[in-house]
Chain A
């Protein structure tokens, strides 16, 4: 069966510091991969999605970036964090054959101080 792993689970970082959140999927090939941010009262915001290695689409302009160095690895990064980057970040995967049903990782709580 497919599993998704995301880490770290919680992170407290000072303003201006870099960020790296990692996500890996097991048990499937060539998944679509996603990074979402969940902020209180604002629902889920799609940040990036990827349909293949090196293919990244950005949904919102911001100081975050994403990379997909391997088929089942998706990384969310920032060179300099802002206070407004605090939130709950969710990695997710899907495959076209299942109607693009999205399955989420357990999320990473980021607090920028």
Chain B
């Protein structure tokens, strides 16, 4: 069965620090990969997604993620975080275009001003 692991439960950074949130999945076939973000008091929003092509995906608000197939990873990065990036981030995977989305347990990011 598919599973998604986000190894960091809570990450605390100062503004301008660089961010990398880990995401690993277990599924040997073709996958679609997603990162969602949930700002405090708001609903889940799509941050970026990867279906095929360039493994480095650019998302909104300066975020990017890199799909490394050999490592079954889809880590989220941002060179310089802002206080407004404080949120919970969820990695998600589905098997091809018709599988259900499986979510990781989320990583809370707290950015100190």
| A interface residue numbers (CB < 8 A to B) | 34, 41-44, 46, 49, 90, 94, 96, 99-107
Contact = CB atoms under 8 A, between A and B. Distances in A.
A31 to B, nearest CB: 14
Contact of B103 (A43, A49, A107): A43
B94 A100 contact: yes
A4 B45 CA distance: 13
Interface of B: 9, 32, 34, 36, 42-46, 49, 51, 90, 92, 94, 97-106
Contact of B90 (A41, A43, A46, A94): A43
A101 B46 contact: yes
A49 to B, nearest CB: 6
Contacts of B90: 43-44
B44 A104 contact: yes
Contact of B97 (A41, A100, A102): A100
Contacts of A103: 46
Given A99-B51, A100-B94, A100-B99, A41 B105 contact: yes
A99 B103 contact: no
B42 to A, nearest CB: 8
A29 to B, nearest CB: 18
A44 B105 CA distance: 7
Contacts of B101: 46, 94, 100, 102
B57 to A, nearest CB: 13
29 contacts: A41-B9, A41-B105, A43-B104, A43-B106, A44-B106, A46-B100, A46-B101, A46-B102, A90-B43, A90-B44, A96-B97, A99-B49, A99-B51, A99-B97, A100-B32, A100-B94, A100-B97, A100-B98, A100-B100, A101-B32, A101-B34, A102-B34, A102-B46, A102-B92, A102-B101, A104-B36, A104-B43, A104-B45, A106-B43
